[in-house]
Copies of this chain bind each other. A is one copy, B any other.
Amino acid sequence: MNTKFGFCDLGFAKLDIDRVRRRGFAEAVYCPGKDKIHLKKICAGFIRNKQPLLLTKLDKNTNSFLRKSIPGLKYNPLAKIGYLIQNKTIVKKGQILVVSAGTSDIPVAEEAALTAELLGSNVVRLYDVGVAGVHRVMHKIEELRKAKVIVVVAGMEGALTSLVSGLVSCPVIAVPTSCGYGASFNGLAPLLTMLNSCSPGVVVVNIDNGFGAGYFANLINTPKE
């Protein structure tokens, strides 16, 4: 297998094993739509090349299948993340706060939180503080202000983002979720809300993309030498 040019060629897949050097962390594997056998071979390829494994949107059945050939594989069913990471020792200084608007947004929030933790960040969770009862978030203002970066996860109307951003001086990463029904149009409503935030200091990732938000939060939290 050719790995000289920075990738491991499996024929149907080209594992980007140069990524740690280039980007600071190995390639994560997005699982949906992939053949189980393919997925197994991809995992084996990464392990053989001494790369950490991070599998996103991994459902329970596929996890069970993979675990047979990867005994140490860990799995968080709420975040739907599978992982096998050796040396998660250097924890960064800054604190990442992951905020969710409602309890239905917790799976995506957990995906963000766990991703950032696996990448070496210290994460605090603050869940179920939507704007319909604003005293809940106001009460936690000290925690908001202590964070180096905040991830806000919200479905339905997604209004929590602007509120939180208006209270702090740190960057805010907004994650719209597909929670809701009718005119939420599977997450379009909070996506548009967040893109139109009247509060500067807000950026947005794809609907339900907790992984992307956790990854980006960790990037901000990683000092560039």
A interface residues (Cβ-Cβ under 8 A, vs B): 5-7, 11-14, 16, 18-19, 22-24, 27-28, 30, 32-35, 38, 42, 57, 94, 101-104, 106, 127-136, 139, 148, 156-163, 165-171, 173, 176, 178-209, 211-212, 215-216, 219-220, 224
Contacts and interface: CB of A to CB of B under 8 A. Distances in A.
Contact of A131 (B13, B35, B163, B171): B163
B185 A16 contact: no
Q: Which of A128, A157, A158 has the most chain B CB atoms closer than 10 A to its own CB?
A: A157
Nearest to A212: B200
A135 B220 contact: no
A180 to B, nearest CB: 6
Given A134-B167, A181-B207, A215 B195 contact: no
Contacts of A6: 133, 135-136, 139
B215 A24 contact: no
A122 B209 CA distance: 31
B135 A18 contact: yes
B195 A193 contact: no
A18 B169 CA distance: 12
A136 B34 contact: no
